[in-house]
Structure 1
Amino acid sequence: MLNVLIIGATSAIAEATARCYAARGARLFLVARDATRLADIAADLRIRGAIDVGQATLDVNRFDAHAGVLDQAWQLLQSVDVVLIAHGTLPDQGACESSVKTALTEFATNGTSTIALMTALAPRLEAQRCGVLAIISSVAGDRGRQSNYLYGAAKAAVSTFASGMRQRLAKVGVSVLTIKPGFVDTPMTRDFRKGALWATPDAVARGIVHAADRSRSVVYLPWFWWPIMLIIRHIPEFIFKRIRL
């Protein structure tokens, strides 16, 4: 039986991933800020086959509260096979450009809070000498673009931090998985015009579970974002400055 901890469990991708694990009869511990929504998701997962579902509320920017919530998760689960960190926002780039406070708050939510959680989780997984630590980053972190470079910078920090932690924890049997979704049709992106490159949360969730099962290191979801971002990363800077992305 799998023991799964999901932080940011009320996000569309996290909820879809939790459903995948519930269908496999996993024991889950869900963490999010909205207690009412969290309770509704927990009840649904029990119906879908989860053996047990624990839950705790957390504002991820309250770093002093992280340890207590992780204690609750380990108390229920005893050991953890998979941790998924899935919280985040989609900042207004213009607002971040006009307000230092907004920029730093959004960076903390999308970058620093994830790094803090990973730092707190690592010793626990290291002590187990097993497990998968999966983090949702983004293709936006592969190269800064004028439309969302605050968000991209936060995700780049997460990806780089995960790379170093992956190298460290591989020596004790713990896998660190960096998940890089492209465009996903979620409530967070409801105002965007959708097209052929957009994926559903369910499709991304299946990719996450598949990658975690195989202890992958980095996965682009859907897969076609890997060649797309390969091209974008290699556009010469003198050209990149003149195009809109």
Structure 2
Amino acid sequence: MRKILIIGATSAIARATARRFAAAGDRLFLVARQAERLQAVADDASVRGAECVATAVMEALDDSRHAQIIEQAAEALDGLDTVLFAYGTLPDQSACEASFEQTRAAIEINLLSVISLLTILANRFESQGRGCIVVISSVAGDRGRQSNYVYGTAKGALTLFLQGLRNRLHRSGVRVITVKPGFVDTPMTASFKKGLLWVSPDTIARGILNAIDSGATVVYLPWFWRYIMLIIKAIPESLFRRLSL
């Protein structure tokens, strides 16, 4: 039985993952910013078999509450051993190009708020000598593309931060898992035209649980994105900048 904190619990991927955690009888502490939607996720987890479900409403950008929320989760669950970060926004690239304020907002929510929470959790898990931190990044962070380079910048920096954190915490028995989904059919991507490469949130949730159970460190979901991104990263810059990607 795991004692799991999910931050961004109302996102489509988080909901799908929470259902799987609940079916395994785990204890859950769910955090999101919208109380009504959060309660619906909690009720569903309870019905599906979670041993314990507690919630807290928090705006991720309010870093003054980060330490308090983590402590609250540990108290409610009688300990804490697993954390899933499953929140973020997909900014309008054109709006970011026209406004630094838009760019800064995207960086703050997708990168800086996560780093704030990770810093607190890393110190806590390092002290207790165990724990598993799972963070959803993105394949968008593997190479800057004209269509979404602001979002890609945030995710790329987050991936690099997680790499260093994993290196630091390895000797303490703390695992850090970077999850890099490709195209996922969620409300955040509702306006996108879907194709063969798109998958459901539950496909990502299944991959997250497999990563936790298998001892993986960096996972592309689905698996074939690892090879797609290898090809994209291998394209010479002189050619890449001519492509409409």
State the TM-score bracket (shorter-chain normalisation).
over 0.9
Letter in 2 for 1:207: G
Q: CA RMSD in A?
A: 0.7
Gap runs ≥5 in structure 2: none
User: Share of identical aligned residues, percent?
Assistant: 55
TM-score, scaled to structure 1:
0.99
| Equivalent residues of 2:26, 2:50 under 8 A apart | yes
Partner of 2:178: 178
Shift of 1:76: 1.1
Q: Per-residue displacement from partner, 1:74-97 (whole Å, max 9, x unpaired)?
A: 111232221001110110000011
Aligned partner of 1:55 in structure 2 is 55
Taking the aligned partners of 2:78 and 2:147, their CA distance within structure 1 comes to 43
The residue type equivalent to 1:122 in the other structure is A
**SS in structure 2 of the partner of residue 175 of structure 1:** strand
Structure 1 position 69 matched with structure 2 position 69: yes
For 1:144-155, list aligned pairs within 5 A.
144-155=144-155
Look up the equivalent residue of 2:205 and give its one-letter code.
A
**1:148-203 residue CA offsets vs partner (Å, 9 max, x unmatched):** 00000000111000000000111010000000000000011111110000010000
Aligned partners of 2:175 and 2:128: how far apart in 1? Answer: 12
- Using the alignment, how far apart are the partners of 1:218 and 1:123 within structure 2? 21
Deviations 1:65-113 (Å, cap 9, x if unpaired)? 1111111101112322210011101100000111111110111011111
In structure 2, C-alpha distance between the alignment counterparts of 1:149 and 1:74, rounded to whole Å: 36
What is the distance in 2 between the residues matched to 1:24 and 1:56? 22
Higher mean alpha-carbon deviation, 170-179 vs 119-128, is at: 119-128
Deviation at 1:120, TM superposition (A): 1.1
Supply the AA of the counterpart residue of 1:140.
A
Q: Secondary structure at the match of 2:84?
A: strand
2:52, 2:77 within 8 Å by CA — same for their partners in 1? no
1:131 — aligned with what?
Answer: 131
d(CA) in 1 for partners of 2:26, 2:127: 22
What SS class does the counterpart of residue 89 from structure 1 fall into?
Answer: coil
* Contact in 2 for aligned 1:82/1:212 (Cα 8 Å): no
Deviations 1:21-62 (A, max 9, x none): 000000000000001100111011100000110111111111
Query: Matches of 1:95 and 1:75 in 2, distance apart?
Result: 42
Structure-2-length-normalised TM-score: 0.99
Q: Which residues in structure 2 correspond to 1:1-245 (within 5 Å)?
A: 1-245=1-245
Aligned residues: 245
CA distance in 2, matches of 1:31, 1:127: 23
